[in-house]
Amino acid sequence: MSRAFYLNLAVDNLKKNARTIIPYILTSVLTTMMLYMVVSLATNPHLDEIVGGASIKQLLGFGIVIIEIFAFIFLFYTHSFLIKRRQKEFALFSILGMEKKHLARVLFYETLITLLVSLILGIGLGILLDKAMFLIIAKMIGADIVLGFYFSFFGMRQCVLVIGLIYVLIYFYSMIRIHISSPIELLHSDHMGEKEPKAKWFLSIIGILCLGIGYYLSISTKNPLSALYVFFVAVVLVIIGTYLLFTSISVTFLKLMKKNKNYYYKTNHFISISGMMYRMKQNAVGLANICILSTMVLVMLSTTLSMWTSIDRVVDSQYPRDFIGTGYGEASNIDFDEMSEELIRMGIVPKNLLAYKRLHYAGYLKNGTLITDYQNEGMNAVNEIQEFYCLPLKDIQDYENMKGSLKPNEIY
């Protein structure tokens, strides 16, 4: 039989299964679009022209890894559900005389068509919405709007590689499922009883460890220099732990409840625990996806809104005055009357002037002593380093009405 026959058969199969294929294609298109947009924003050269653009790029870089992990799990699970619904169709093809190598060709064309549609529509929608997302980010942080069109070749290549690899794995997984099953098993798959899920102790322990370590890292990290990288590791661990929580830990916990005969052999407990085990086996990945997506959306919205609405207070706390003039070294003896006159010439009327000297350096506190020579103190000391601004006591007393004195080698 010619290639055109298998291609036409694949197209007909996609049309006949449109009710289940279209939602899967839409899922794949949206995943591809999201991946392209994040990669495109992370590599957009215009971000370098925005204040804080480097930090935004770093965050988006972490987001790329998270999206790629999620895309693999989400698309793989969605397609495995689709294959289960089509097992009877594959059985009929086998009974009508098609060998498994022929089914492999049909599935190849189906997978190829689905992949091309996902890439074309996903990247196309990503290109259309990419500029809008960049403008929204620029507007939110108050940056200048950069006009012009930007197309990310790296983003397109990343989508082709990542989504293409996922589809290759999906294709081989589907072929393994068909190869190990006989046509009779596929034909009667809808009527076959579901096997009782087994307790997976190893995966359950890994899941508990991932969740515990992930939440511990997110709560215990205090150093802002390493918080971003630790947060990324914590997010990955929590995602893995959440999937294992639904797929393995829940079943293992229900199996332990079943072993407790005094608890299990009661009418309400017997029915609910038995039913829950089978439901968790069938819907675990879907529930985990819903849980992770809901959490991501809530965290993203709450964090973004909190940062956006409090940005004025942050600016006021970091820069409480509209104009700051700094002199270094010998210039620290700057004439403030001359500075005031210069401001007046610029059309700025100075009010509430505050002038003081300060010494800026880095160090950390160790047993009540401020250590500034930390080169040989090891990584633990480096992680504790903070910035210090040392002001003369007289300047503080002049403006804060403080009383008291300090002995030599003392700081307040």
What gap in Å lies between CA 37 and CA 34, rounded to an integer?
5
For 169-185, what is the mean pLDDT? 75
What is this structure's pTM?
0.64
Burial of 239 (0-12, 13-18, 19+ CB in 10 A): buried
pLDDT in the model for residue 234:
82
Among residues 311, 316, 296, 317, which one has the least CA distance to residue 140?
Answer: 311
For 207-218, what is the mean pLDDT? 86
Query: How many CB atoms sit inside 10 A of residue 332's CB?
Result: 10
Q: In whole angstroms, how far apart are CA 312 and each of 69, 116, 308, 320, 338?
A: 36, 46, 8, 11, 31
Among residues 82, 79, 98, which one has the least CA distance to residue 183?
Answer: 98
What gap in Å lies between CA 179 and CA 172, rounded to an integer?
10
- Condensed to tens digits (0 to 9), the pLDDT of residues 69-85 reads 888 888 887 787 777 77
With H, G, I as helix, E, B as strand and everything else as coil, classify residue 366.
Answer: strand
Which residues make Cβ contacts (< 8 Å) with residue 243, sequence separation at least 6?
73, 207, 285, 288, 292
- Condensed to tens digits (0 to 9), the pLDDT of residues 362-391 reads 887 777 777 777 666 665 566 677 788 888
Indicate the pLDDT class of residue 193, thresholds 50, 70 and 90.
very low
pLDDT in the model for residue 148:
57
Token pair of 244, please? 């294992």
* pLDDT over threshold 80, residue 68: yes
pLDDT in the model for residue 281:
67
Backbone phi, psi, residue 231, to 5°: -60, -40
Q: In whole angstroms, how far apart are CA 379 and each of 219, 230, 366, 376?
A: 21, 16, 14, 9
For 206-232, what is the mean pLDDT? 77
pLDDT in the model for residue 21:
84
Q: State the DSSP H helix or E strand holding residue 363, giving kind and residue range, or none if neither.
A: strand 359-366
- Report DSSP state, residue 249: I
Torsion 390-394-400-404 (CA) sign: positive
* pLDDT over threshold 50, residue 307: yes
Q: Are 155 and 36 in contact (CB under 8 A)?
A: yes
pLDDT in the model for residue 228:
67
Among residues 80, 84, 106, 82, which one has the least CA distance to residue 93?
Answer: 106
What gap in Å lies between CA 74 and CA 81, rounded to an integer?
11
